Structure 1
Amino acid sequence: MKSINHLFTRILFFLFTFSALGQVKDIGMPNIKNYKRTEYKGGTQNWSIDQDKKGNIYFANNSGLIQFDGSTWRKYALPNNTAIRSLKIDGSGKIFVGGNNEFGYFKPNEKGELKYFSLSKLISNKDSQNINLIWRIHIFKGEVIFQSFTKALFYKNNKLTVLNAPRKFQFSFMVNNRLFFQDKVLGILEYKNQKLYPLKGTTALNDKEIWAMFPLPNNKILLATLEKGLFVYDYNAVKEWNTEANSFIKKNTSLGGAIIKNKFIILNSVLNGIIICDLNGKIIQHLNRQKGLQNNTILTSFVDHKNNIWLGLDNGITFINENSPFTYFDYSYNIGTVYASVLYQNNLYVATNQGLFYHSWNTSFTDEPFNRVEGTIAQAWNIQVINNTLLCSSNSGALVIEHNKVSKILDTKGYFGFKQIPKHPEYVIGESYNGFSIFKIASHNVEFINQVQGFDETTNTFEVELDNDYLWLKKNPYLYQMELSDDLKKFESIKKYTQISTVNKGIGSLQSINNKIYFQTKNHFYRFSKDQDGFFEDRKMSNLFSNIPVINTLIQDSKGNLWYSFNESLGVLEKSDNGKYVRKQAPFSNLTGNLVNNYIAVNTVDQKNIFIGLTDGLTHYDATISNTFITKPTVFIESFSFPGDTIITGNLTANEKQFDLPYSGNHVKFTFSSPTFENQENVTYSYKLEPFEDTWRNWSSVSIKEYTNLREGNYTMKLRARNSFGVLSEVDQIKFTISPPWYRHFLAYIFYLLLIFAGTYVISNRVKLKIRKNKYYETIEQRRLYLEKESKIRHEQHELEKEIEKLKSDKLQIKILAKDKELVNNSLQVVKKNKTLNTIISKLKEIDTNILDDSTKSEFNKLHKSIVKEVNTDKSWKDLEKHIKNVHFDFLKRLKEKYPTISPRELDLSTYLLMNMSTKEIAEIMNISNGGVELARYRLRKKLGLNKKENLIGFLMSI
């Protein structure tokens, strides 16, 4: 039993989810995003659309294949640069395309670039003639079928078979896994078992150009023709589909369409955009250029994985966020900034910056613009229903609205809003531009009573609430507590507060919840106790907002739900039947930045119809639509670039995302994409490069990141995305390795190690050799030093010997000189002796020997002869002269060589002078007078070229 209940629950959940995913709202307009040619940089017309498993969208464009991944548009052309008219993606990711006489498929190469592979070359020469345009591509029972007007080409296992048209094909269609062709003569043909079988009753359509076929309940098919409207075929006969949709197509012609979950049909038109109708032909939505499309001619439509709609236009591409609980009323509905809205007497009224507008409200919401309430052309701040009376607070005053026009102006001052006065049910107090006023509302009779005295300040940017005792006014930076008199004519007391808590400073907001006044600051809620004359915290209420961002405004709607604003965003605590609250915040994140500052304009009619005021219109929110439209986004590292190359990693599979880079490629760049097309501008990214970064980077809408000068190593780039609802994607990653530079490569380190070993070995050997050499050289040096020392000693010894010899020579010379001197002296003595003897001889000659006796005379003669003999035989002088010449031979030779004109007599004089002989001695030796010696000296000086100051003896000694 439990399993049955569980199965039943799952079926209900599936049906609810299925219903929610196939939801098309008939109130308001979905969010529309237009892409112009300047963005996707392609041709004008877009003929076909498909989506791959990753979520990327592809377009068959006049200039080629267009790829869009949510961030980047890329274009790929056919070899003949012709337009692509059809495309289809199979389960393996191949993108089959068809053009003029050309067809094939694109698939990514190792760098992620889509490369084209032509299949037209597989056709035989006979069948290759007149292929013409490939208008349709189908994947049917494992075969890829390319259809032109003349042929159908079946591709499987790299083989191509050709099926020629019986007469002439128009288009082909896949319906409920059945393949149909329209033949100009035979009608609609079904392809089965490689043959074509005509369908009964379809020749009636031979004059009609069918552009689309859709499945209908009860085994019927809806046929959309170009100019003849819509028809229903039940496999027996063709009948016209008499519906709103048919009337529209007849008027605007059809170019096919698409189907949403077999529940809603999209019909493209040539003249007036698209319509979305249910299976009964009732138009649910009509979108055209006036409603936000950039072009009214829709060539193709496509429903993506999230049941959002893509349109290929005659000029441009459009995305429609159909799978959302939000639809919008913008400028195309004649409304601007909305400050309040209310439902009254089957009309929806909105207070805007351009006045008060209304739109009829019934079970069938007509898609028409809002109308201005007559008499309201100024700023309208509020629209309220009090005591069944519709009151408008505007810049023109306090206005009563009846029958969609101003029936009464209660006061011409500007008003912000009205509050009912407790204990006085027929009276309301109005907040004007300069204080407060009292009005009475009874039995549809509304009148101005009086201005409340005691407070006349301008109350712009304020909040007002009333309880049984006080009127509370928050006007930054004060909170006013004012007590009305019983006659409502004045304020009996006014008290100002600058804070409501000593712990939580400031005053955040003022609000009435369940008829109780709350004062909020930093998500702490306080109430006022009259008995204690002070504020106390309501813990239960504070706990309710403990996990919510700090709010700035809070209101309670008619169903008890609590709507709060924070950081220009919106959230709600939905009140359930058991009194508990369920927090919803993510669905409203798309409204962030579009809310009216300091105003939460929420009007809850029921769970299916909630209206929220925006700065550029009004949004309709259906709370019954499941939150399954909030799906987990996908994210891809779209491209990976490094110097000299770019890899489109978004087109690669996960196991291909690993790369080896040279060290010169250590400057890398990544681009990100997320095929999240709803509110794409609010998609943010966070990433980290491991191990370069330890933490995830802050969320940012920037979809590019560069890293420079990365060191060698293994890296992993991780990326995640967060959509506008705050939902995080799975992590996408690529791994890459940066090789080290050659000088830091592993082999280089081995080389370095070997080099170190070799160097150590060589250095060791060199050191050893050096040590040996040093020892050798040291020995040699010691030997050299020894030899030098020995040589020095020998030299010194030799010098000493020379010195000794010199000393000996000098000593000998001195001795010789002394001997010479002595010899000279002796010679002089001999000379003197001889002179004396000669004198004696002369004296003896003077003696008369005759007087002497013979014996005496004989003795005298003997004596005379002996003296003469002594004088004659004395050779002392000649020996002296010879000796002097021998001793001073070298001197005399040098002197003669230097002065060749010198005479022998002068040579003798020079020798005597060198011997340091006195003038007297020289005179005696030379047998001249002393004056003669001086004259000889003068002549010698002159011949030697000496001046008077030069010493003659010193000069001679220097020679």
Structure 2
Amino acid sequence: MKRISPFLTYTLTLGFVATILLFPCFRGMAQSALSGIPFTRNFLPVEYHAGIQNWFITQNRQGLVYIANNFGLLEFDGDHWQVYGVKNGTKVRSVAIDSRGRIYVGGQGDFGYFFPNERGQLSYVSLADSLDRKFRNFDEAWSVYLDNDLVYFCTFSNIYVYNQRTFTIVQSAHGIDHSFLVNRQLYVNQPSSGLGTLEGSVIRLIKGGDFYKGKSIAGILPLHDNHLLVATFYEGIYRYSEGISQPWREDLQAFLKGSIVNCITRLRNGNFAIGTQNNGLLVLDAEGNLLMQLGSGRGIESPTVLSIYEDDLNNLWVGQNNGLAYVELGSPFTFINKQTGLPGSGYSAYLHKTKLYLGTNTGVYVRDKNDKADFKLIDNTRGQVYHIGEYGNNIMIGHHNGATSVQGASAARLSYEPGSWVFQSLKDHPAQLIEGVYAGLQVYDFVNGQWKFRKKLKGFGESSRVMAQDPSGDLWVTHGYKGAYKIKFSPSLDSIQQVKFYGADKGFPSNLLINVFKVRNELLFTSTTGVYKYDAKTDRFIPDDFFTPRLGKNDQVWFIREDAMGNIYFISRDHIGVFRKNALGEYILEENVFNKIRKYLNDDLISIAILQNNEVLFGAKDGFIHYDPAMKVNRTPIFQTLIRTVGTSNNGDSTLFFGNHSVHDSITDKQQPDFKPELPYASNSIDFTFAATSYEGNADLTYQYYLENYEKGWSEWSSKTLKEYTNLKEGNYIFHVHARNVNGEVSREATYAFTILPPWYRSVWAYSIYGISVIALLFTGFNLLDRKYQREQKLLEQKQQEELSQKDTELEMLSQQSQEEITRLQNEKLESELQHMNNELATSTMHLLNKNEFITGVKNQLAHILKKNNHEEIKKELTQITRNIEQNISADADWEHFQFHFDRVHGDFTNRFKASFPTLSPQEIKLSAYLRMNLSSKEIAQLLNISVRGVEISRYRLRKKIQLDRNKNLQDFILNF
């Protein structure tokens, strides 16, 4: 019988409906009876851009996920999806990865492997093309199995055993349905004969194997003591041992038959995961008890599961008929929300015996943990719920409409005062209960096993959402934006005796966001910053000694709750986690595992509920998040940061690296030195894409990166998976990147080294050419300079000669000028002296003239007197005076003085003139001198003491003696002599 895939069967809708009706108890269970739906991340075809069906899933050492998809081999690195097609572009049905990283695939009419080329891009190599033509024509290679170096390619006609060099072909005369490798033994189901094993190159029927004749097997798993678990598509699941096959769980057979089992796998914790055609994903324990069912609208998107793969974190990759899902089975957190019948935001929770009560903004819901059904709404509780608690064996509800008490499947109103926040029992009043409402406090009495409303207390009208009683019996009520109040009641609780306010003036940082919690048997108060406790001695609030040293003074704590083991759960602005108490009484902070739930938590009226078995419920925006502390998280995951592509963008996109390093025939994590690219300077703009193989918590990954030799340190954490660098200078660079996952774990860094070559004008060849050119230019330049130097030397010598000649000429001229200057100066000196002598001569002449004129005047006056006076003696005396005057006028002393100066001025004129004309008398010499001085006749007459007429006669005589021509002027002659 030819095998036709049952995965395409969609005709059992009616059977599916009947199955759900017959087995409602199988829905909604996980490891803990109180847990909900595991965290699930769904991927639709529009997101991964490939075919809708995903047939097989596996993972390599780097954490990359590979899926056999309708469109080819689908790869997921945590951020990017990539499809690699096989040669003929057909569907890929199976995939397996060996220790070297080689990815073997089987598909329609072909099988082979993918391995990275020199640029790191996966390339497909068809092994089927190497077969003889008579074995090449086959239909589907549904399975690929690895056994050390052997690879089994299982088709519906033959089994091809590849030993890395050659093929061994195993043929079956009865046809092949499916094959399964179990403990290195290949089991082969032949529809016409039954289940057998491959021994050498022959398929031999196992003992009792004919039981499976005509049955289509979906999976075979090993059990203890050589037992096998054989899952069939349509006939349920059987336990095989010693040739006998029996139903694994008789009570489940009908359900499994209606579900149609597509695949089955054994989980590391011993449980089984089953993928069905109609009922989604089933998780069963080792005994076959159904623990959990996920299907359409309940964790995963499709009721048809085609493949299952468990990763190293015990989480499941689920291949579906229309997409993929990542189911965090290994996480201690699950959702209790509308998928489990609980709509609305979670505000309060309480576990009473086996019943779990949950309060949301839509009402109170209940489910018995042993019932396994969805949550049901309790009648008369619809609306906003603030609090659920047990008081005097009564389940009390703080409701927007007023206090309510649960009565079986319904609830009864206890008070019509709107806005019931919370209830507080008092240690000295076990029969009374205090209720905080929107506007004040109310008192209830316990009568005949039921709480009865007594009265609303006067004297305090503030909203009382948070309250706690201290050891002294006082009630503390905190207000969100006013402060804290300490309230004293009367002994009978009929009235409020005292209300005392505490705010910023009493030690709080402000009056805002003050809450009170009872932790470690003491009251702790929180505010905008810090945690405080009340000091009765000073009547003030002081920082507490537990949270303050551990979280600091500036953190804002929003909620605190302590479990029965002393573990303290808290939510603050900067942290969320638990201070876990060990056997020594020490507290160890555990917070990373809680990071993944922060974004889901309710940001209005935050709540943490501790259930009786120390499981925890966190109020969420959509229902609650259940935390099971008994589930220990495996924190040794495959978590690596990978550089997925490296490209240049200067001249259009060009990918240098496609994400896979290899050495010889193996994939490796590190770049090999031989594959360090050297890029031309024109390609100096580089972009990197990267991802990290951490898939938990919706993969809220952040990255840090830096480029060595370009940046000084790591960047800030960012969710970006692309980094671009532009206009890099030439040099050697190493790109570093690492990731941090939602749990705060940091991966190993990934690196990629590359070199930017200098531009052609700064290359070695260019510098060589530059060097040669410079040498040539220097040689030419030196030669030209030498020639120029020779020419300039000659010109310089000529110039120097000319300059020397010019200098000599200048010196001669300078000497001549100096001599002329000396002569000029001497002349000037002589002229000055001559001028001085002229001045003296003129002075002397004027002196003589004045003297003679004066004396002549005196003589004339005396002569006049002599004429008028007749007295002889007087005449005689006057005559004697006149003679003396005449002698004085004619004295030679004045002449000698005059002559001395005159000769100095006129070049020794008198001696020269006398020498030329020796016959001249002294009187004529004087006349000649006076004529040379260009004196007038009158002035000469005064000097010679003669009349003017006498001067004229003397001039005439002088002309004759010197024999001067009559036509010549005497005075001119004398002036020019």
Q: Are the counterparts in 1 of residues 464 and 478 from structure 2 also a CA contact under 8 Å? A: no
Match of 2:123 in 1: 115
Task: Verify: 1:91 aligned to 2:99, yes or no.
Answer: yes
Instruction: Determine which of 402, 409, 424 is the counterpart of 1:404.
Output: 409
Alpha carbons of structure 1 residues 506 and 687: separation in structure 2 relative to 1, 3 Å: farther
Alpha carbons of structure 1 residues 534 and 265: separation in structure 2 relative to 1, 3 Å: closer
Q: CA deviation at 1:701?
A: 1.4
Q: Are the counterparts in 1 of residues 617 and 625 from structure 2 also a CA contact under 8 Å? A: yes
Alpha carbons of structure 1 residues 133 and 539: separation in structure 2 relative to 1, 3 Å: closer
* Deviations, residues 763-822 of structure 1 (Å, cap 9, x unaligned): 222222222233456789999999xxxxxxxxxxxxxxxxxxxxxxxxxxxxxxxxxxxx
SS of the aligned residue for 2:571 comes to: strand
Match of 2:215 in 1: 208
Instruction: Determine which of 265, 288, 294 is the counterpart of 1:287.
Output: 294
Match of 1:445 in 2: 450
Task: Verify: 1:742 aligned to 2:747, yes or no.
Answer: no
Match of 2:726 in 1: 708
Superposed, 1:434-833 pairs within 5 Å as 434-459=439-464, 466-475=470-479, 476-499=481-504, 509-521=515-527, 524-539=530-545, 542-546=548-552, 549-567=555-573, 570-597=576-603, 599-605=605-611, 609-629=615-635, 631=637, 633-643=639-649, 644-652=653-661, 653=668, 654-656=670-672, 658-775=676-793
Q: Match for 1:625: what amino acid?
A: M
Superposed, 1:369-388 pairs within 5 Å as 369-388=374-393
Alpha carbons of structure 1 residues 54 and 322: separation in structure 2 relative to 1, 3 Å: same
Task: Verify: 1:348 aligned to 2:364, yes or no.
Answer: no
Measure the CA separation in 2 of the matches of 1:547 and 1:534: 17
Task: Verify: 1:79 aligned to 2:90, yes or no.
Answer: no
* Deviations, residues 717-751 of structure 1 (Å, cap 9, x unaligned): 11111111111111111111111112222443444
Superposed, 1:926-941 pairs within 5 Å as none
Q: CA deviation at 1:243?
A: 4.1
Measure the CA separation in 1 of the matches of 2:265 and 2:232: 14
Name which of structure 1's ranges 66-75 and 483-492 shifts more when overlaid on structure 2. Answer: 483-492
Match of 2:843 in 1: none
Alpha carbons of structure 1 residues 236 and 729: separation in structure 2 relative to 1, 3 Å: same
Q: Are the counterparts in 2 of residues 199 and 235 from structure 1 also a CA contact under 8 Å? A: no
Q: CA deviation at 1:138?
A: 0.9
Measure the CA separation in 1 of the matches of 2:368 and 2:636: 31
Name which of structure 1's ranges 234-243 and 286-295 shifts more when overlaid on structure 2. Answer: 234-243
Match of 1:7 in 2: none
Q: Match for 2:410: what amino acid?
A: K
Q: Are the counterparts in 2 of residues 215 and 262 from structure 1 also a CA contact under 8 Å? A: no
SS of the aligned residue for 1:719 comes to: strand
Name which of structure 1's ranges 773-782 and 198-207 shifts more when overlaid on structure 2. Answer: 773-782
Q: Are the counterparts in 2 of residues 639 and 671 from structure 1 also a CA contact under 8 Å? A: yes
Task: Verify: 1:193 aligned to 2:200, yes or no.
Answer: yes
TM-score by length of structure 1 reads: 0.75
Match of 2:259 in 1: 252
Q: CA deviation at 1:753?
A: 4.0
Alpha carbons of structure 1 residues 563 and 592: separation in structure 2 relative to 1, 3 Å: same
* Deviations, residues 188-224 of structure 1 (Å, cap 9, x unaligned): 1211233322101111211111111111222111111
Identity %: 27
Alpha carbons of structure 1 residues 750 and 271: separation in structure 2 relative to 1, 3 Å: same
Q: Are the counterparts in 2 of residues 509 and 554 from structure 1 also a CA contact under 8 Å? A: no
Q: Are the counterparts in 2 of residues 323 and 629 from structure 1 also a CA contact under 8 Å? A: no
Measure the CA separation in 2 of the matches of 1:450 and 1:393: 17
Measure the CA separation in 2 of the matches of 1:577 and 1:105: 54
Alpha carbons of structure 1 residues 554 and 241: separation in structure 2 relative to 1, 3 Å: closer
SS of the aligned residue for 2:778 comes to: helix
Q: Are the counterparts in 1 of residues 483 and 501 from structure 2 also a CA contact under 8 Å? A: yes
Q: Are the counterparts in 2 of residues 60 and 85 from structure 1 also a CA contact under 8 Å? A: yes
Measure the CA separation in 1 of the matches of 2:146 and 2:68: 17
SS of the aligned residue for 2:177 comes to: strand
SS of the aligned residue for 1:170 comes to: coil
Superposed, 1:38-437 pairs within 5 Å as 38-128=46-136, 130-261=137-268, 263-335=270-342, 336-362=344-370, 366-437=371-442
Measure the CA separation in 2 of the matches of 1:439 and 1:592: 37
Give ranges in structure 1 of 5+ residues lacking alignment: 1-22, 787-959
Measure the CA separation in 2 of the matches of 1:122 and 1:24: 50
SS of the aligned residue for 1:592 comes to: helix
Alpha carbons of structure 1 residues 452 and 618: separation in structure 2 relative to 1, 3 Å: same
Q: Are the counterparts in 1 of residues 580 and 587 from structure 2 also a CA contact under 8 Å? A: yes
Measure the CA separation in 1 of the matches of 2:454 and 2:470: 19
Q: CA deviation at 1:459?
A: 4.8
Measure the CA separation in 1 of the matches of 2:377 and 2:244: 50
TM-score by length of structure 2 reads: 0.74
Q: CA deviation at 1:655?
A: 3.2
Measure the CA separation in 2 of the matches of 1:694 and 1:286: 52
Q: Match for 1:347: what amino acid?
A: K
SS of the aligned residue for 2:758 comes to: coil
* Deviations, residues 92-140 of structure 1 (Å, cap 9, x unaligned): 1111112222111111111111111111221112222x31111111112
CA-based RMSD of the aligned residues comes to 2.8
SS of the aligned residue for 2:777 comes to: helix
Measure the CA separation in 2 of the matches of 1:483 and 1:674: 59
SS of the aligned residue for 1:553 comes to: strand
Alpha carbons of structure 1 residues 498 and 764: separation in structure 2 relative to 1, 3 Å: farther
Measure the CA separation in 1 of the matches of 2:768 and 2:589: 64
SS of the aligned residue for 1:430 comes to: strand
Give ranges in structure 2 of 5+ residues lacking alignment: 1-29, 662-667, 805-977
Q: Match for 2:655: what amino acid?
A: T
Q: Are the counterparts in 2 of residues 252 and 270 from structure 1 also a CA contact under 8 Å? A: yes
Q: Are the counterparts in 1 of residues 701 and 740 from structure 2 also a CA contact under 8 Å? A: yes
Q: Match for 1:147: what amino acid?
A: C
Q: Are the counterparts in 2 of residues 201 and 237 from structure 1 also a CA contact under 8 Å? A: yes
Q: Are the counterparts in 2 of residues 660 and 737 from structure 1 also a CA contact under 8 Å? A: yes
Q: Are the counterparts in 2 of residues 28 and 367 from structure 1 also a CA contact under 8 Å? A: no
